[in-house]
Structure 1
């Protein structure tokens, strides 16, 4: 479950950037400021709460270790997802090949949660 400061803003981000859809009772969004969202086999719960933990955003994942948590996802095609995110106007980190054998990128959601996406790299 991700604590978010504005449920509607977060739902819009996750739907637009990654194709998530609300799968829980839509009335819960209004009544409880809560939702379960799904994209493929991945489900997340979002809950609107106060989230100020004293960090300044955006955090550069290449330069900082300040973020409290990283959520790591394994999409079927990381390049296709990266291209989609960029076409939608978001600014993820560059798509890189890591020293630990992954092809990956990261992006922060509107509340600063670090989302990383990777797949096994075919090249070193």
Structure 2
């Protein structure tokens, strides 16, 4: 019954302009829609929605998403390292014991974006 559904994260953003700029310039997303307090960005089949939350404290933001990479995670990691993406201090590319190669970045709101590829 749930097999054909698409999951689209809705994430908090302190400043929608800054969030849009980061996702466009550092991560290569494109703008789909922009409203006064809502933003929709897309890259390939990945779609992210952002709602304005000016009171968000980025140091206690527990928002996280996991993005499965079908192949080429090493190349993606290197591209993001040089694109202006904010690398998580403990998020370097490495093989994990659960059979995935992963790395992590942060957005300006401190949302954790983890990228993973099956080994």
Answer yes or no: is 1:84 the counterpart of 2:84: no
Give the deviation of 1:108 after TM superposition.
1.1
Alignment of 1:50-65 (within 5 A): 50-53=54-57, 56=59
* Alignment equivalent of 1:94, drawn from 92, 95, 102: 92
- Note the residue ranges of structure 1 that are not aligned, 5 or more in a row: 57-65
3-state SS of paired residue (1:23): strand
- Give ranges in structure 2 of 5+ residues lacking alignment: 1-9
The match for 2:3 is: none
Given that 1:7 and 1:46 are in contact with CA atoms closer than 8 Å, whether structure 2 keeps it comes out as yes
Normalising by the residue count of structure 1, what TM-score does the alignment of the two structures yield? Answer: 0.76
Q: 1:4 aligns with which of 9, 13, 25?
A: 13
Distance 1:67 1:49 in 2: 11
Match of 1:70 in 2: 64
The answer to whether residue 46 in structure 2 is matched with residue 48 in structure 1 is: no
Q: Which is worse superposed, 85-94 or 95-104?
A: 85-94
What value does the CA root-mean-square deviation take over the aligned residues? Answer: 1.8
How many residues are aligned here?
Answer: 106
Aligned partner of residue 18 in structure 1, secondary structure: coil
Output one character per residue of 1:77-112: Cα deviation in whole Å (capped at 9) or x when no partner.
222211111111334221000010101101111001
